[in-house]
Amino acid sequence: MSVLVRGAKTSDIKKIRLIVDTYASERKLLSKETVTLYENVQEFTVAEFNGEVIGCGALHVLWEDLAEVRTVAVIKEWQGKKVGHEILENILSKAKELGVKKVFCLTFETKFFGAHGFTEIQGAPVEPDVYAQLLRSYDEGIAEFLDLESVKPNTLGNTRMLKIL
């Protein structure tokens, strides 16, 4: 079985939407508006088998040396077959190509991310001046990263993890 991992296309968004909805209803992922998925299609990586998208993940750059891994998910039938690992490795390679030095995630899947060198952290791993700049962002993920009170009702209680590249 050969799984192809590649950059997402706009034609993949409907399947990404279904994958996100599956896990959002279980409160494992935050739901995203479809328009947001289209706006961020260039951030997404997908895994496909026989032309069918079976998993996804995204890399969202926050700052010069910092990015977030978002929305890593694989359809249930393909879990446990290393598809998520392939997606994450692709995302981490992309981060290195972009010059990112630190990648973080907010996750319940601490063993999965730990297997890729992520470690649990407390607080935001940025300097105060960068923190002040990030406060100006309208991105909800950045608000979660900064642990702002405004997103407390929306957060899922995920663990903050960081990997130094």
Sheet with 66-74, side-by-side order of all strands = 4-7, 44-49, 52-63, 66-74, 102-107, 159-164, 119-120
pLDDT in tens, 38-88: 999 999 999 999 999 999 999 999 878 889 999 999 999 999 999 999 999
- What pTM was computed for the model? 0.84
| Residue (of 52, 41, 61) closest to 2 by Cα position | 52
Q: Are 53 and 10 in contact (CB under 8 A)?
A: no
Domain range for 106 is: 4-164
Q: Is 24 exposed, middle or buried (0-12, 13-18, 19+ CB in 10 A)?
A: middle
pLDDT at 153: 42
CATH code, domain carrying 56:
3.40.630.30
Give me the number of domains the chain comprises: 1
Which pLDDT band, with edges at 50, 70 and 90, does 139 fall under?
low
| Residue (of 9, 5, 142) closest to 66 by Cα position | 142
Instruction: Report which residue type is found at 35.
Output: V
Q: Is 65 exposed, middle or buried (0-12, 13-18, 19+ CB in 10 A)?
A: middle
